[in-house]
Amino acid sequence: MRTSPANAQIRPSGFAFRYDASYYLQKYAMKKLFKPSLAKAIFTDEQFWVPVVILTLGLIFLVFVDKP
């Protein structure tokens, strides 16, 4: 966990107000929603790569069909 970020403002009440987006991204999105084990489960799921490959082919084809 990150401690004492350089850009933290300390209010008179002592409440630390952090406004750097990366802190919240790391704290909430990455640790609570997307745990490393979850990312591993997704990327080692062979079913995941089927749509990824088809999508890549689709994008290549789109470039081709857009040529006049």
Partner 1 sequence: MRPEAKRAGRVTTSSLHGLGVACGLAAGAWLGAAEAPTKLVTLGFSPFLISLGTVAGVFVARWTVPMALKGTRYVVRDIREGPHLIVWAILAGVLWAVANTLTVFAIRGVGLSIAFPLWNTNSLVGLFWGWLLFGELRNAGARQLMKVLGGAFAIVAGACLLAYATSRQVGGPAGAATSGIAAALGAGLLWGTMYIPYRKAYLSGMNPLSFVTVFTFGELGAVSVLAIVFDGGFHGVLADLQRARPALFWLFLGGFCWVLGDLFQQYAAKYVGIGRGIPLSNTNQLWGLAWGALVFGETRGSTTAVLILILAGSLLMVGGAAAISLAEAQESEQAAWKRAMERECHRYGLDPDRLAARLRGEDDRAETSGLGRPWWELLITAVALGLLAWLALLARPQPIPVNLAWMAALTAATLGALLLGGFLLWKRTRFS
By CB under 8 A, name the binding residues for partner 1: 33-34, 38, 41-42, 45, 47-48, 50-52, 54-55, 57-59, 61-62, 65-66
Helices (H) and strands (E) in the chain, counts: 3, 2
Torsion of CA 11, 13, 14, 19, to 10 degrees: -40
Closest to partner 1 by CB, 16 or 39: 39
The DSSP secondary-structure symbol of 46 reads H
Closest to partner 1 by CB, 5 or 51: 51
**Min dist. Cβ of residue 3 to partner 1 (A):** 26
